[in-house]
């Protein structure tokens, strides 16, 4: 319970202090968007690292050198916990936006920071809006901002890897960007398996080797969801 109390105190202070910081970020983006992206990345990474520390996350990271230094990518991972984002975002080398459900856009403070770190809100019930989100994400990758996708579409309640929805993979193919498969283990043991209690535990994040979509034929691109799913399954030890 003490971890939950400390986390509540930290988040309260963080969001209060965020108000003038976000105003500064809005001004900064008018003059230098690249500087705003980098400063927002640093601020959010720091906040999530503190959350991980308070929560007692013992993190093991493998394959971080598989992320290219010279280009933006599409990260594709399994989704078993709210903590998946908390542990993966601080590992990002460049500005990175996550694909999130549109309902989160209504949450104050959180959605504001998500805007500053280039997250994209997806309407899963509207195919037309979904296509717009894919095109927006593809453009961000072309402009040097990586995108993180959980293609199962929702958090797995039992930890087992569900089938991947194929729409999000068009983000990579349209941008001709590499896909980095990611396997996450242990995050549900921090919170979901005994909600609302937060317990310290080991979390493993494995980054796989890049899948280069620019070298694929149309037929090969159609098999991307299955190909990447198998890699994520192996990386998450399933």
135-151 pLDDT tens trace: 999 999 999 999 999 99
The answer, yes or no, to whether residue 74 has pLDDT greater than 90, is yes
Q: Per-residue pLDDT tens for 161-183?
A: 999 998 899 999 999 999 999 99
Report the percent of the chain where pLDDT is more than 70.
100
Can you state the angle between helices 33-55 and 2-31, rounded to 10 degrees?
Answer: 180
**Residue 157 token pair:** 């309640």
What the chain holds in terms of domains, given with CATH numbers, is 2-235 (3.40.1130)
**Per-residue confidence (pLDDT) for residue 149, from 0 to 100:** 97
CB atoms within 10 A of CB 130: 17
Average confidence score pLDDT of the chain:
93
59 within 8 A of 135, measured Cβ to Cβ: no
Longest dimension (CA), the chain: 54
CB atoms within 10 A of CB 231: 19
The answer, yes or no, to whether residue 1 has pLDDT greater than 90, is no
Query: What global pTM score does this model have?
Result: 0.94
What CA–CA distance (Å, rounded) separates 153 from 168? 10
**Residue 25 token pair:** 């970020």
The answer, yes or no, to whether residue 127 has pLDDT greater than 80, is no
Q: Which of 182, 28, 36 is nearest to 98 (CA)?
A: 182
Q: How confident is the model at residue 128 (pLDDT cuts 50, 70, 90)?
A: confident
What CA–CA distance (Å, rounded) separates 71 from 75? 12
The answer, yes or no, to whether residue 123 has pLDDT greater than 90, is no
């Amino acid at each position: 319970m003490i971890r939950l109390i400390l986390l509540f105190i930290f988040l309260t202070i963080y969001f209060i202090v965020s108000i003038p910081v976000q105003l500064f970020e809005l001004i900064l983006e008018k003059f230098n968007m690249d500087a705003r992206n980098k400063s927002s990345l640093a601020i959010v990474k720091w906040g999530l690292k503190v959350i991980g520390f308070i929560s007692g996350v013992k993190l093991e990271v493998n394959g971080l050198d598989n992320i290219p230094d010279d280009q933006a990518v599409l990260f594709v991972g399994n989704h078993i916990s709210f903590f998946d984002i908390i542990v993966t975002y601080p590992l990002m080398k460049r500005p990175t936006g996550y694909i999130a459900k549109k309902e989160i856009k209504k949450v104050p403070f959180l959605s504001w920071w998500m805007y500053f770190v280039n997250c994209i809100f997806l309407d899963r019930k509207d195919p037309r809006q979904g296509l717009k989100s894919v095109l927006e994400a593809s453009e961000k990758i072309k402009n040097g901002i990586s995108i993180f996708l959980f293609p199962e579409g929702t958090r797995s309640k039992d930890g087992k890897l569900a089938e991947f929805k194929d729409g999000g993979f068009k983000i990579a193919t349209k941008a001709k960007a590499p896909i980095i498969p990611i396997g996450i283990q242990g995050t549900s043991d921090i919170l979901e398996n005994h909600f609302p209690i937060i317990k310290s535990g080991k979390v493993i994040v494995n980054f796989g080797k890049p899948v280069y979509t620019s070298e694929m034929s149309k037929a090969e691109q159609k098999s991307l969801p299955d190909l990447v799913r198998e890699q994520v399954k192996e990386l998450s030890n399933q």
